[in-house]
Structure 1
Amino acid sequence: MGRPKAELVLTDDERETLTRWVRRRTSSQALALRCRIVLECATGATNKDVADRLGVEAHTVSRWRARFVRDRLEGLTDEPRPGGPRKITDAQVEEVVVRTLETTPKDATHWSTRSMAKEVGLSQSAIARIWRTFGLKPHLVDTFKLSKDPQFIEKVRDVVGLYLAPPEHALVLCVDEKTQIQALDRSAPVLPIMPGMPERRTHDYVRGGVTTLFAALNTATGEVIGQIHRRHRAAEFKKFLMRIDREVPADLDVHLICDNASTHKTPAIQRWLTAHPRFHVHFTPTSSSWLNQVERWFALLTTKQIRRGVHKNVQALEKDIRNWIRTWNEDPKPFVWTKTADEILERLAGYLNRIPNSGH
């Protein structure tokens, strides 16, 4: 038969509190699980049935059932652990957090663990623990840019719609140019990596010229059509469009996702697009390069090939870029877009609410 289970009956207030703790985002997983155990036990289920439903051990259910019957809601919190008493009070923790968020030191733009420790009379390790607990990183700064495009919402929905529900019998290409790619050579030979020592190179360099890469990323397959030019005028962009026209099967429509660069909107480009009706251009909002997937591919190219590359001249740089594109296309990997337009706009609205006088 086993040991009889302790009878558990909830008041309306206790049930409401337990349900609120389960749904509250800030509740720890451990506390949320204990609340679920008590709520299930209150239905009259056995410890074994509750354990099976929640995927825990029966003795775990038995322990928290007994704790709740004995101590009610207070019994669900962790009991005091052995060890010395706390030396830092809640008031001191609050002071550190408030000072970090609302003030700056007299001699700097942001707090360090050393300056905050001196200010509040705690140790550097204590400050570091408090910051870590509350996710505070005064030494870091992020940048952002708000689009002022009056058609921002419409363009976001248009571009994201192409990512999530591409049209049939059509190809969706993210198109842009990476300009001013520099051929840089070091002023002394690069010293290779060795056990216990990283690769070393001089901090100064010799410029060998610049080039421009035009790229079109196939959002379905991840393949890239690339073309290199020394300049990035509308004339070069038109040549790239002609290259795309040759490589894409004639029975497919072509949807191009582009930014608002002037080279994409000249009369010559407009005439070419009119003469090729299977091409459809979709512009991203201004200051919204994050919406164009080819920018992510450019970041990979920069990280894996250009940033640490050593090129004595532009020809060597262009050869490495072409080889990198060829290697990429041997095993292309498309970027998977997951956010809907509504999710993007909702998150942006929440961000704007934190910015006073944002004008949006």
Structure 2
Amino acid sequence: MPQVQACPVIVTDATRWVLTRRARGQKTQHRDKVRAWIVLLAAQRWSNAAIAIEVGIGVDTMRTWRGRFAAQGLAGLLDRARSGRPPRFSPVQVAQVKALACQLPVRAGVALSRWSCPELAREVVGQGIAEAISASTVWRWLVREAIKPWQYRSWLFPRDPDFAEKAGRVLDLYERRWEGQRLGPREYVISSDEKTSIQARCRCHPSLAPGQARMMRVNHEYERGGALAYLAAYDVHQARVFGSCAPSTGIVPFMALAEQVMTLEPYASAKRVFWVVDNGSSHRGQTAINRLAARFPNTVMVHTPVHASWLNQVEIFFSVVQRKVFSPNDFTDLAEVEQRLVDFEKRYNATAKPFQWKFTGDDLRDLLIRIAQHEQQETGIQLRTAA
């Protein structure tokens, strides 16, 4: 019988360079190395049997890759598209599972506060969406759409009837505007509030410093050493903090903080100093506005809307204090707490920069639109339920 001739293989210099790198690459997959060696040896006119023995594969496999390269070049060494296992679930079923995950469990008649993947898989089977499904399959589908029904975050719904007007004034001040006019060089914006119930917790055993492969350790048991309130006034545009401690909050501690700030320059001789405050009892309503203006005529108190303390920039400073000064809480007494706060203020003022406030008037308008849409949706649901 006539002898079968092997497919001739011709390799250009550029192709040989690619194949050599692929055959000798440290991170090249094994299958790609084998295919590269097959072609390189075939280009040297090795026989099929010799190449198969050298590479360690069957002759039929060797012929396949030699023939593909001879016909298609480097593209012939790639895996062909495969159909794979047919899908077990239809696109409609996938959409139904995602829609179920986006509903509160109570709406589906399930006695749960939030979904987990196992509970979703169980409910999918219970509703007849699928005969059987695993929790991992549900998780993969939800991850593709960034749906995480097992997580939640709380929020406050604005209930101030003048929310838009009050929030707009605060945002204008952050952008150095007031009633449509730019603030002058002798006009300042102070954000002020109180951080209440700061405890001095004396740990029953000393805290252990971190070490190699060991995080800081803090004893769980502690003795209470009392509590105090921390009042702070933050200059929004100059990033300066003025703080004081008091046994509790109230009108007297707040006015003492105002005295502390307004007797210093440049605020004492400023044209106007705007004080942004929330609606706490220490500075609530027109009475507080009049009280501050009577003591310091160049001050203007501006209230944030009710349930909108997040508009007060000093809350960002308080979050910094909580992370860097109080957590973990390990103080022998209140005097140590107060001294730590005084020292931190000096450290903070030495390097502080104004916060990059990103919530603008445009964001406020978008928020109001979403609130209106939410109210319309809730009204529609209530009407349908009543019907």
TM-score by shorter chain over 0.5: yes
Aligned residue number for residue 299 of structure 1: 319
Give, in angstroms, the shift of residue 314 of structure 1: 0.5
Give, in angstroms, the shift of residue 343 of structure 1: 2.4
Contact (CA 8 Å) 2:187, 2:273: kept in 1 or not?
yes
Contact (CA 8 Å) 1:212, 1:232: kept in 2 or not?
yes
Q: Count residues with an aligned counterpart.
A: 280
The ranges of structure 1 where at least 4 consecutive aligned residues each deviate by more than 6 angstroms after the TM superposition are none
Equivalent-residue separation in structure 1 for 2:353 and 2:341 (angstroms): 18
Q: In terms of mean alpha carbon deviation, does 337-346 or 248-257 score higher?
A: 337-346
Contact (CA 8 Å) 1:257, 1:284: kept in 2 or not?
yes
Q: In terms of mean alpha carbon deviation, does 148-157 or 106-115 score higher?
A: 106-115
Which entry has the higher C-alpha Rg, 1 or 2? 2
Aligned residue number for residue 121 of structure 2: 117
Matches within 5 A, 1:55-204: 82=82, 84-87=84-87, 88-102=89-103, 104=105, 106=110, 108-120=112-124, 121-166=132-177, 167-168=183-184, 169-204=186-221
Aligned residue number for residue 207 of structure 1: 224
Equivalent-residue separation in structure 1 for 2:211 and 2:284 (angstroms): 51
Equivalent-residue separation in structure 1 for 2:156 and 2:171 (angstroms): 19
Secondary structure of 1:302's counterpart equals: helix
Q: Any gaps of 5 or more consecutive residues in structure 1?
A: 1-79
Secondary structure of 2:161's counterpart equals: coil
Give, in angstroms, the shift of residue 227 of structure 1: 1.3
Equivalent-residue separation in structure 2 for 1:83 and 1:191 (angstroms): 59
Aligned residue number for residue 73 of structure 1: none
Aligned residue number for residue 343 of structure 2: 323
Contact (CA 8 Å) 1:116, 1:127: kept in 2 or not?
yes
Secondary structure of 1:181's counterpart equals: strand
Contact (CA 8 Å) 1:238, 1:269: kept in 2 or not?
no
Identify if the C-alpha distance between structure 1 residues 242 and 93 changes in structure 2 by more than 3 Å, giving closer, same or farther: same
Aligned residue number for residue 55 of structure 2: none
Q: Any gaps of 5 or more consecutive residues in structure 2?
A: 1-79, 125-131, 178-182, 381-387
Contact (CA 8 Å) 1:164, 1:337: kept in 2 or not?
no
Q: In terms of mean alpha carbon deviation, does 210-219 or 287-296 score higher?
A: 210-219
Q: Which amino acid aligns with 2:334?
A: V
Contact (CA 8 Å) 2:278, 2:284: kept in 1 or not?
no
Equivalent-residue separation in structure 2 for 1:219 and 1:236 (angstroms): 21
Give, in angstroms, the shift of residue 229 of structure 1: 1.4
Give, in angstroms, the shift of residue 287 of structure 1: 0.6
Q: Which amino acid aligns with 2:337?
A: L
Q: Which amino acid aligns with 1:186?
A: R
**Sequence identity percentage:** 27
* 2:264 matches 1:263: no
Aligned residue number for residue 11 of structure 1: none
- The CA deviation string for residues 162-185 of structure 1, in whole angstroms up to 9 with x for no partner, is 011241121111011111111112
- The CA deviation string for residues 152-209 of structure 1, in whole angstroms up to 9 with x for no partner, is 1111111111011241121111011111111112233223323233223233332111
Secondary structure of 2:374's counterpart equals: coil
Identify if the C-alpha distance between structure 1 residues 181 and 84 changes in structure 2 by more than 3 Å, giving closer, same or farther: same
Aligned residue number for residue 328 of structure 2: 308
Aligned residue number for residue 294 of structure 2: 274
Q: Which amino acid aligns with 1:303?
A: R
Aligned residue number for residue 24 of structure 2: none
Identify if the C-alpha distance between structure 1 residues 86 and 170 changes in structure 2 by more than 3 Å, giving closer, same or farther: farther
Q: Which amino acid aligns with 1:109?
A: S
- The CA deviation string for residues 35-75 of structure 1, in whole angstroms up to 9 with x for no partner, is xxxxxxxxxxxxxxxxxxxxxxxxxxxxxxxxxxxxxxxxx
Give, in angstroms, the shift of residue 82 of structure 1: 4.3
Equivalent-residue separation in structure 1 for 2:166 and 2:207 (angstroms): 46
Aligned residue number for residue 247 of structure 2: 230
> Over the residues paired in the alignment, what is the CA RMSD in angstroms?
2.5
Contact (CA 8 Å) 1:234, 1:269: kept in 2 or not?
no
Equivalent-residue separation in structure 2 for 1:86 and 1:159 (angstroms): 58
- The CA deviation string for residues 305-351 of structure 1, in whole angstroms up to 9 with x for no partner, is 11213101101111111111111001012112233224213223214
Q: In terms of mean alpha carbon deviation, does 134-143 or 107-116 score higher?
A: 107-116
- The CA deviation string for residues 137-159 of structure 1, in whole angstroms up to 9 with x for no partner, is 11111111122222211111111
Q: Which amino acid aligns with 2:331?
A: H
Contact (CA 8 Å) 2:292, 2:301: kept in 1 or not?
no
Equivalent-residue separation in structure 2 for 1:254 and 1:296 (angstroms): 20
Give, in angstroms, the shift of residue 218 of structure 1: 0.9
Alignment TM-score, normalising by the size of structure 1? 0.71
Contact (CA 8 Å) 2:104, 2:113: kept in 1 or not?
no
Q: In terms of mean alpha carbon deviation, does 234-243 or 343-352 score higher?
A: 343-352
Identify if the C-alpha distance between structure 1 residues 129 and 229 changes in structure 2 by more than 3 Å, giving closer, same or farther: same
Give, in angstroms, the shift of residue 97 of structure 1: 0.9
Equivalent-residue separation in structure 2 for 1:333 and 1:82 (angstroms): 57
Equivalent-residue separation in structure 1 for 2:279 and 2:104 (angstroms): 40
